Structure 1
Amino acid sequence: MADNKEISIEETIHNGPPSPELEKPQQDGIVRIPRPLDDPRDPLNWPFRKKCGMVAVLSIAMFAGYAAPFCGQLNLVQQAKLYHKTTVQITYFNSASSAGLASGGFFYSPLAHKFGRSSVIFFALLGCLAAQIWAPMMTGKGDYWSYFGSRFLSGFFGMVTSVLGPKYLVDLFFLHQRGRVFTILHLALNFGASAGPTFSGFIAANRYWPVEYWWSVALLAFTSILVFVFLEETSFDRSEGAINMTPPESWIANRIQTFFPFLPGNNSVIKRTTLAETAKVAILPFKIALSPVLLTVAGFDTISFGFYVALNALTPVWLQKPKKFGGYGFTITDNASFTFVHWIGFIFGLVYGQLVSDRIPLWVAKRHGGVWKPEYRLHALWLTNFFMMPVGLGLVGAALMYRLHWVVFALGQIFVTIGSMVSIPVTVNYIAECFRSHTVEATIPVNSMRLFLGLSINFYATDWIAKTHIGWFYGMMAFFSLFAFFFLILLMWKGHVIRSWTPFGLGSDEEGEHVVAGKNIHAA
């Protein structure tokens, strides 16, 4: 960790005695919040390379978990013939995956409280692996609903890191570092959802569809090993008089206590909890879901991310539809190659997030005397979600309506991907900082709500298109996504008041902390 910045005598003479906030350890003019304890068990004190290793493992787990449910997204024709369904009915499998992604978190929060986050992530990945083995076995004509179930369970187990991962980041990193690490972790989410169909499409382009699943099985097995070897618990209570567990020095004993706390006679690396305490934790996401600040963010996420999910689910239909029927006549290989446009969006989103996700809120804080408000995070979304995402959806609609070149269609996809890529880590980070004491429980309803529209839209897309035509199907999405941004504008304007309406006394944040102590924020 970098040396603490000293406050000079001259500064004291001109500005008076330093405030308690400015006496906190600083780095490049940025106050480190929260202040770590003088205890090597405090994750804030861990070596930076160890923190980066933890983020890498969590990102791989996020990638593998979100790639798994969508491996079969492109093989519409083969599965339609096998199960005697239309291609649109085959896209219902994506809705099953999204339903699993939306529901799993409500179970993982109490389990993590009881057994530890690392143990729950490990066994959920094994469950996702089992679902990936189950799916390619469903090759009978009557296996439609069994395959449907495998997609639900793949999403149910695969989403575990998206719920439990943010708490690791909050435990490991200071306030001024979180924007970048949230961007990295959620890049893995979006990248996995896109790379799953890409890799599977190339693998199964000239083969029968079940073969597209086995690379995911191997990846999940490898990821489970990485999690078992490298992932550690970061639970640490900094409150006065708190008792924290000391993990065993032996690596084997540490791994056994971390991942198998339920074995008879085995100790745990987290504090023991009663069944009543676990039940209270299970109820927390439903209580937090009633808070106006979360509902406001969820309103934005539901529309913006929901349209991104819907766009991904329906794109193979338009690309593989014959040209004479208004499609682009792509083969499965062409479709797999087309998904690289998402990768362009991911790269742009990653670079943009690394450059601005922390710098913009710190710049805004500096203009307000260096005092922090969680809403400053949201200003990073003006370019990507007020402008790029609505324009992208409009381009997609125009390309399909006027049968424009597929490059126009691709450009629209890139813009929408960038909007999704940047908005998820920013909004999840914002909610995590609004509920610092209940990070996991707060991210659960946000993750679930933003998937509701995406998982349901396939069921009424045909009727919507019939009423409005394909161009306005996406054109209306563009206007809805623009409208959704006004939820964020409301928070930027009155976020403090809206957060004060949080019921049950569950809100806790870092507003009022003096985060900018000096003039130089460029290196933060």
Structure 2
Amino acid sequence: MAATPSMEDVEIKSPPTTTTTDAKEPKVETGKHGDIVVLVPQPTDDPDDPLNWPMSKKILIFACVCFAAFAAQMSPNSNQLTFTEQVPVYQVSVAAMLDSVAAGLAGWLAGPFLFIPFCAVIGRSSVVLWSLIIIFVCQIWGAEMTHVDDYISFTISRLFCGFFGAVPAILGSGYIIDLFYLHQRGKAFAIFEVLIIFAVVGGGTLSGFVAQTQPWNYVFWWTLGPVGAAIVSVILFVDDTTYTREPGSTARPALPKSRVANRLATFCPGTRTQPAGKTETFIKRALIPLQITIAPVTVLTGTYVFIALGLPVMQASTLATYLEPPVEAGGYGFNPLQIACFTFTAWIGIIGAQVYGYFFNDKIPLWLARRRDGTWHPEYRLANAIFPSIILPIGLGIYGAGLQYHLNIMVLALASFLIWFGALLALPVCYNYIIECFLHHPVEASVSLNAWRISFGLMSVFIITEWQAAVGVGWMWGMGAFFVVLVDIIMAFLILKGHVVRGMTVRLFPGIAWTEDGAKITVKADGAASP
């Protein structure tokens, strides 16, 4: 059986006489091994269609959006490994400082619901830019809160930074859907979602190195460099990628070709990038995330994400509380530098998940499609969730045992690697699946799944003390492992019967649920369906 073509070794072939999505001879990509992958969605002949842009331009825009999301996502909780150093400054308890971490998580959860609808007014790229600018201001705000009576103001700064910190990360899904074909999205989502979580872990790691030699507020000052660079890259290189494909939909007027005029039209304030009827569209885009959040297919996938991604978020948010206390108090006596070094275990897990996802997140679903007459079903994406569903509970169990019996730090390191490797294998798969269930509303689908992802991590900050006191640290994380096993059953049901759940979703929300289910995605060289 021929191998699946990669993005690098394909050429685009077009039929000689037709160029529309209704063509009898669809446009395809042919790999070096003779595989033929049908382009879904079918590109038009319009040069303004993002699907027709050169791959170099697509990758440049995607890279800038990834960097913007990374810089934004790491900012709200850039003190997650060093917040204990602020306890004597504000003269509050460690639990109170955890509340400031929770404020950033609350902003991550609520911000997209509040600000994503503004894409209908000023455009997606403009929302990304202005979110980064506000984050830049909030980081300065947090860094200046160095007096004993600044605790409340500091916590508010984390809340507002969280509001806008999640926005670029959510909007990235829209760029992926606009720029890449179905058979390329798995790689793109793997890269993007892994970078988002890497920002949460990596930002804390870098802040730990900074805090070892500098005052604690420098963990906010240093982030101004990446955020500022992201602002510049968005202004210079990120173009508006929205393109109307639905028959009868209102298209926006063409943007200016002159680079300066194009930048002004895109970002200042960006209203030129949107078609008429902004008020009606704003209201619609404010309601759609709420509808998607309670849709049956989202509830089941979201429940899986709630547990499988919430527990790693809890692990990252509370790591300092386990490693920093002295050995005689049950901790490991780590300073901020040592804690930062420990988080490299998560880095390795995240990078491993990145490599795995790049090679398999598209290959396995396409292989399944070829085995079933070349017809596409979104549930093929979920096959990549089987491996992490096995790894993640093992990692959580080892982590709980290591803390319970105060085992060697290398045991915790192994557990941390397994937790993040498993979680970051599953996250892009779930995001890709839900977005392809609501393909006309990728950003709103991301808002909904983000809420499910963040909720457990936010809730855990408030309940972890009582939970741990009730069952002990070992069983707290052990219960987390069993929770993952339970939601693994949900994932197995979605893999086998997801099409039934999607049918229920279509009946409940016929105006927003739309997929590429049933599309012919692979064919043989002679035009017959693949075996």
TM-score (norm 2): 0.92
Give distance in 2, aligned partners of 1:182 and 1:431: 12
1:55-74 matches, within 5 Å, as 55-74=62-81
Give the secondary structure class of the aligned counterpart of 1:113. helix
Give distance in 1, aligned partners of 2:471 and 2:108: 30
Give the secondary structure class of the aligned counterpart of 2:213. coil
1:91-240 matches, within 5 Å, as 91-240=98-247
Structure 2 vs 1, CA of residues 336 and 117 (structure 1 numbering), >3 Å: closer, same or farther?
same
Correspondence 1:271 to 2:278:
no
TM-score (norm 1): 0.93
Deviation at 1:470, TM superposition (A): 0.8
Higher relative contact order (CA 8 A, sep 6+): 1
Q: Structure 2: which 5+ residue stretches go unaligned?
A: 1-9, 17-21, 527-531
Give distance in 1, aligned partners of 2:365 and 2:14: 22
Query: Who is 2:291 aligned against?
Result: 287
Letter paired with 2:264:
I
Deviation at 1:6, TM superposition (A): 8.4
Deviation at 1:3, TM superposition (A): 3.6
Query: Who is 1:336 aligned against?
Result: 340
1:11-26 matches, within 5 Å, as 23-26=26-29
Give distance in 1, aligned partners of 2:280 and 2:245: 24
Alpha-carbon RMSD: 1.9
Correspondence 1:513 to 2:519:
yes
Letter paired with 1:508:
W
Contact 1:114 1:272 in 2 (8 A): no
Identical positions, percent = 35
Give the secondary structure class of the aligned counterpart of 1:33. coil
Correspondence 1:4 to 2:20:
no
Query: Who is 2:401 aligned against?
Result: 398
Give distance in 1, aligned partners of 2:447 and 2:83: 31
Give distance in 1, aligned partners of 2:83 and 2:116: 35
Give distance in 1, aligned partners of 2:399 and 2:149: 36
**2:509 aligns with one of 488, 504, 509:** 504
Give the secondary structure class of the aligned counterpart of 1:370. coil
Q: Which moved more, 1:339-348 or 1:281-290?
A: 281-290
Contact 1:22 1:514 in 2 (8 A): no
Contact 2:14 2:27 in 1 (8 A): no
Letter paired with 1:375:
E
Give distance in 2, aligned partners of 1:416 and 1:41: 43
Output one character per residue of 1:71-93: Cα deviation in whole Å (capped at 9) or x when no partner: 11122332111122232332222
Give distance in 1, aligned partners of 2:254 and 2:218: 46
Contact 1:114 1:273 in 2 (8 A): no
Give distance in 1, aligned partners of 2:306 and 2:100: 20
1:72-91 matches, within 5 Å, as 72-91=79-98
Letter paired with 1:418:
F
Structure 2 vs 1, CA of residues 465 and 238 (structure 1 numbering), >3 Å: closer, same or farther?
same
Q: Which moved more, 1:177-186 or 1:435-444?
A: 435-444
Structure 2 vs 1, CA of residues 179 and 416 (structure 1 numbering), >3 Å: closer, same or farther?
same
Correspondence 1:316 to 2:320:
yes
Structure 2 vs 1, CA of residues 280 and 3 (structure 1 numbering), >3 Å: closer, same or farther?
closer
Output one character per residue of 1:379-438: Cα deviation in whole Å (capped at 9) or x when no partner: 111111x21110110111011111111011011111111122122211111111000111
Query: Who is 2:53 aligned against?
Result: 46
Contact 2:194 2:354 in 1 (8 A): yes
Give distance in 1, aligned partners of 2:383 and 2:479: 25
Deviation at 1:244, TM superposition (A): 4.5
Aligned pair count reads: 504
Letter paired with 1:504:
F
Contact 2:364 2:384 in 1 (8 A): yes
Correspondence 1:483 to 2:486:
yes
Give the secondary structure class of the aligned counterpart of 1:258. helix
Q: Which moved more, 1:72-81 or 1:150-159?
A: 72-81
Contact 1:244 1:271 in 2 (8 A): yes
Query: Who is 2:265 aligned against?
Result: 257
Letter paired with 1:247:
L
Query: Who is 2:458 aligned against?
Result: 455
Contact 2:70 2:169 in 1 (8 A): no
Give distance in 1, aligned partners of 2:259 and 2:385: 43
Output one character per residue of 1:433-488: Cα deviation in whole Å (capped at 9) or x when no partner: 00011111121111012111101112111111111111101000011012112222
Give distance in 2, aligned partners of 1:392 and 1:245: 52
Give distance in 2, aligned partners of 1:23 and 1:78: 61
Contact 1:93 1:151 in 2 (8 A): yes
Give distance in 2, aligned partners of 1:156 and 1:222: 20
Correspondence 1:367 to 2:375:
no
Q: Structure 1: which 5+ residue stretches go unaligned?
A: 8-18
